Amino acid sequence: MSTLIGTYECKMDIKGRLMFPSSFKKQLEDKLNKGFILKRSVFQRCLELFPLDEWEKTMNGVNQLNRFVKKNNDFIRRYTAGLKSIELDNVGRILVPKDLIKFADLKKNLVMTSAVNIIEIWDKELYEKSINDSEIDFVKLTEDVMGNTGDNVS
């Protein structure tokens, strides 16, 4: 799969439905009919939307874990907690289940943003706080994460 690109503001209706951005539809057109997996993020208060083939790649790695090791079972249980299979309806919307709305504290105004091969779904205010967090020195973070690799990334 190629890298997804884009950040889009959306509105969620009272039933938890939101219109899937047309740009993401175009980027994922060969994967739309297979559906998605929607889950809680591990590190953030947002949701992660995996195209089904990306989810299967992730689960292939998880399935390599030895389930006779307690911490592996604990990880699997928490990582897969609240998983939902999601499909676009005939109008092009997705339905976010209430338990996931509560987890991510989603209100009416949302942001759907690409995160390499998945899409994150954020409450707009939480997203803005996350990307503008003054506690994080982005220059230092970039250097720490990308500056010490053997690959020249520009």
pLDDT digits (tens, 9 = 90+) for 41-86: 999 999 999 999 999 999 999 999 999 999 999 999 999 999 999 9
Of the two residues 137 and 17, the one the predictor is more confident about is 17
Structural domain of residue 18, as residue ranges? Answer: 7-124
**Residue 150: band (very low, low, confident or very high) from pLDDT cuts 50, 70, 90:** low
3-state class (DSSP) for residue 112: strand
Of the two residues 117 and 135, the one the predictor is more confident about is 117
* Overall average pLDDT of the 8-32 stretch: 96
Among candidates 146, 147, 120, which has minimal Cα distance to 131?
120
Indicate the pTM of the whole model: 0.89
Torsion, Cα 15 122 98 10, to 10 degrees, reads 10
In a domain, 135, yes or no: no
In a domain, 37, yes or no: yes
* Count of structural domains, the chain: 1
In a domain, 85, yes or no: yes
| Residue 154, pLDDT above cutoff 60 | no
Query: So what's the pLDDT on residue 153?
Result: 55
| Residue 119, pLDDT above cutoff 90 | yes
Is residue 123 within 8 Å of 49, Cβ to Cβ? no
